[in-house]
Amino acid sequence: EVYPLTGSWDYRFDGGPSEKVTVPHTWNASDAADGVKGKRGDAKSVNSDVYRRGPAVYTRTLPVAPKPGKRYFIRGGGASIVSEVSVNGKPAGRHEGAFTAFCYEITPLLKKGANTVSVLVDNTQRDHIAPQRGDFSMFGGLYRPIELIETDGVCIDPLFYASPGVFITTKSLDKSKAEVEVKTLLNSDGKAGDVDVAVEILDMKGRKVAGKTVKAAAGEKKNLEVPVTLAIPNPVLWNGVRNPYLYQVKTSVRTADGQTDEMVQPLGLRTVSVNPKEGFVLNGKPMQIKGVSRHQDMKGKGWALSPEDEERDIRLIADMGADGLRTGHYPASSNVYDLCDKTGLVVWSEVPNVNLVRDTPEFRENNRLQAREMIYQNWNHPSICMWGIFNEIGHQPEASSKGVDMEAELTELNKFVKETDPSRMTVGASNQAGRRKLNNIPDHIAFNTYPGWYGGGPETMKGNLNGYIRDYGGKMGIAVSEYGHGASTGMHENPAKRPSPTGFWHPEEWQSQAHEINYKCIRERPEVWGSFVWNMFDFGSASRFEGESPGINDKGLVTYDRKTPKDAYFFYRANWSPQPTVYITSRRFAERTGKTVP
């Protein structure tokens, strides 16, 4: 049984007055997004106090009184940056890292009747937790769904790095058969005796295509691994946006008294690889990924997006005709990966190693933890094809002045990620084309490059790609992990007609034209295995004051409130989408006709 703990909580920020808020919650959504009224050139570091950072406490009563013989766990999808859960004032557990889930058993802390849970959340910047830099606002709060899980004495383990406790791995795959290993982790309080673990695979119509039941000795208090191998005849492949075919794997645990637990996980059968000649290859067919990046925030909400907000975002991306998503610069919510599984987007999911990694034992330890949690929590999503291990490392002053050996740390991290999940490739997003040692660390390297914005004209993309391909293409293939251009929404090429209050001019046409030229250069080089527009949406960036929107990075193809697609959006939609399904009115069409933008 799962009881959502979303809804009303008592909340106090930094010892201030108590108020009622709705969880998922972000406390600095408005100060970070629209409240920064600085002057141009007033850029503040993401580590500064432009918006609220500090500790807050959330408190509420649990929705059910504990039942005898049952076990209880609290699972949170994400709290930024550090969180501590306690029940009736006693600590249940502490989690460090803003983008992964946590789970604790609270059975021994419960008393009869009403029980109080509180979560301390603190978004103060710390030296040992990535990200250390980045232009995006680090919102604070209990910002993803949180729930109370009630189980019997023996259950599918919710505690193993807060993963689903079921790990599905495709062992072999050909036209006639897929061999799949389903490993279930059991957590037993020692009172149940032997149990049956039943695994069933259902196709998209809900028909059973494979199944097996095994016995597990759960008679002692312990963790048990129960692997089962199953064969699916005539498998249908998960084939990206063309056919995102999903099976369901249903694992259930039964004692003599009946079923005690059940977990349903997605299964997509596919092969992926990158080779320097053909680029990205899905199920044996080369495709050049047409991707975008997305930050998880939105105007007025910060990071506390609802499942409906997330669904709209993924729909906007897929409908535009994109077939790939980079979760720049951190792991997304599990709901976002579910949506990508269903829509067929090829996902690059990454840890938040932005600009800087530190060479301290504490940083290293937390860096491994964040990677491990990202991998174990999201293991079963077929959409995730690659793990990103860094973004734009190597140009910060700390990198050279303090003798920090970034390459050593990233080499270790890469090894660790590959050992933890041998089934996926690793990638890096570099802006240091000359640093061969760094760029050769991941399996495949990609470059962040902004011709037409940060340097050169838009057509210099051509020369940049030539250089990357010359230096790295032979061995590993290359991709464009970021390219983009700012655009002030609603500003068009006639300064006289629409004067810019700040005199800083970047109309939508310029963004659109830069994308058009940049993307043409990319498309003409099939060895480039993919590209990712920076960014699908404008996003909160307290350190920025570009264009007309202080506190916002306006490189989005769509505005921060998701209401207005910019001109560049229509360039991609016209060129990428075979068949748009969502009708979107361009803002200028809306202005001319009086029709509103949905």
Residues classed as catalytic: 392
- Pick 409 or 482: Cβ nearer ligand ADA: 482
Long-range contacts of 520-527 (CB under 8 A, 24+ apart): 521/459, 521/461, 521/462, 521/465, 522/288, 522/461, 522/465, 522/480, 522/483, 523/288, 524/462, 525/465, 525/469, 526/278, 526/279, 526/286, 526/288, 527/276, 527/277, 527/279, 527/469, 527/473, 527/477, 527/478
Residue window 381-400: x/- pattern of binding to ligand ADA, with contact defined by CB under 6 A: ----------xx--------
**Strand-pair partners of 172:** 179
Please name the residue ranges forming H helices in 379-472.
397-401, 406-420, 436-439, 460-468
Binding of residue 482 to ligand ADA (CB under 6 A): yes
Rounded to a whole number of angstroms, the minimum distance from the CB of residue 532 to ligand ADA is 11
Residue 173 near residue 148 (C-beta atoms within 8 A): no
Query: Residue 490 in 3-state DSSP?
Result: coil
- Taking CB under 6 A as the rule, does residue 297 contact ligand ADA? no
* Residues from 219 through 278 that contact ligand ADA (CB under 6 A): none
Name the token pair of 414. 């890469």
Complex with ligand ADA: residue 216 or 568, whichever CB lies closer: 568
Which whole-number Å values give the CA distances from 351 to 4, 12, 366, in the listed order?
A: 27, 30, 11
Shortest approach of ligand ADA to residue 293 CB, angstroms?
A: 8
3-state helix, strand, coil in the chain (%, to 5): 20, 35, 45
Q: Which is nearer to ligand ADA, 311 or 398 (CB)?
A: 398
In 245-307, where do the E strands start and end?
247-255, 258-267, 272-275, 279-282, 285-286, 289-293
Give least dist CB 392 to ligand ADA, A. Answer: 5
Whether 394 contacts 429, CB under 8 Å:
no
Binding pattern for the stretch 440-459 against ligand ADA, x by CB under 6 A and - elsewhere: --------x-----------
Choose between 75 and 555: whose C-beta lies nearer to ligand ADA.
555
- Judging by beta carbons within 10 Å of its beta carbon (0-12, 13-18, 19+), is residue 494 exposed, middle or buried? exposed
Dist. CA 399–CA 296, nearest whole Å: 28
What's the rounded Cα separation, in Å, for the pair 363 and 357?
8
Interacting residues of 401 by C-beta distance below 8 A, sequence separation 6+: none
Interaction with ligand ADA in 17-46: which residues (CB under 6 A)? none
Cα 201–chain centre separation? 27
Cα–Cα distance between 567 and 540 in angstroms, integer? 21
Give CA–CA dist 557/568, Å, rounded.
Answer: 6
Closer by beta carbon to ligand ADA, 295 or else 372:
295
262 CA to centre of own chain: 26
CA distance 42 to 530: 36
User: Using CB under 6 A, which of 10, 135, 147, 179 touches ligand ADA?
Assistant: 135
What whole-number distance in Å separates Cα of residue 340 and Cα of residue 334? 10
Nearer to ligand ADA, 145 or 388 (CB): 388
Whether 355 and 322 have beta carbons less than 8 Å apart is answered as: no
When the beta carbons of 197 and 389 are compared against ligand ADA, the nearer one is 389
Residues 531-550 that bind ligand ADA (CB under 6 A): 534
* Nearest CB to ligand ADA, comparing residues 84 and 482: 482
**H or E element in which residue 209 lies:** strand 208-216
Compare residues 123 and 448 and give the one whose CB is closer to ligand ADA: 448
Counting Cα atoms < 13 Å in the Cβ hemisphere of 165 gives: 24
Nearer to ligand ADA, 376 or 537 (CB): 537
Least distance to ligand ADA, CB of residue 518, Å: 14
Distance in Å, CB of 544 to ligand ADA, minimum = 8
197 touches 186 (CB < 8 A): yes
One residue of 95, 270, 485, 555 binding ligand ADA per CB under 6 A: 555
Which parts of 321-340 interact with ligand ADA (CB under 6 A)?
A: 329
Q: Which of 518, 553, 559, 564 binds ligand ADA (CB under 6 A)?
A: 553
Structure tokens at 98: 């803003």
Site residues (CB under 6 A) for ligand ADA? 134-135, 329, 391-392, 448, 482, 534, 553, 555
